[in-house]
Chains A and B, each alone.
Chain A
Amino acid sequence: AQSVTQLGSHVSVSEGALVLLRCNYSSSVPPYLFWYVQYPNQGLQLLLKYTSAATLVKGINGFEAEFKKSETSFHLTKPSAHMSDAAEYFCAVSDPSRGGYNKLIFGAGTRLAVHP
Chain B
Amino acid sequence: DAGVIQSPRHEVTEMGQEVTLRCKPISGHDYLFWYRQTMMRGLELLIYFNNNVPIDDSGMPEDRFSAKMPNASFSNLKIQPSEPRDSAVYFCASSPGGGAYEKLFFGSGTQLSVL
With the chains together, A89 CA to B33 CA distance in Å? Answer: 20
- Within 29-60 of B, Cβ neighbours of A (below 8 Å) are at 31, 33, 42-43, 45, 48, 50, 55-56, 58
Q: How many residues on chain B are close to A (CB under 8 Å)? A: 24
Size band of the interface chain A makes with B: 20 to 34
Task: Say what secondary structure dominates the interface of chain A.
Answer: loop
From the candidates A36, A41, A109, name the one contacting B42 in the complex (CB within 8 A): A109
Is there a chain A Cβ closer than 8 Å to B25's Cβ? no
Asked whether, in the complex, the Cβ of B101 is within 8 Å of the Cβ of A32, the reply is yes
Query: Contact string, B54-92, partner A, CB cutoff 8 A, digits 1/0?
Result: 011010000000000000000000000000000000010
From the candidates B31, B43, B99, name the one contacting A90 in the complex (CB within 8 A): B43
Asked whether, in the complex, the Cβ of B104 is within 8 Å of the Cβ of A41, the reply is no
Complex: chain B residue closest to A99, CB-CB:
B56
Is there a chain B Cβ closer than 8 Å to A24's Cβ? no
Complex: chain A residue closest to B48, CB-CB:
A102
- Distance from A37 Cβ to chain B, minimum over Cβ atoms (Å): 11
Is there a chain A Cβ closer than 8 Å to B26's Cβ? no
Asked whether, in the complex, the Cβ of B42 is within 8 Å of the Cβ of A104, the reply is no
Asked whether, in the complex, the Cβ of B108 is within 8 Å of the Cβ of A104, the reply is no
Q: Interface residues, chain B, CB within 8 Å of chain A?
A: 4, 31, 33, 42-43, 45, 48, 50, 55-56, 58, 91, 93, 95, 99-101, 103-109
The 6 closest A-B CB pairs, nearest first, are A43-B106, A101-B101, A106-B43, A102-B100, A102-B99, A44-B106
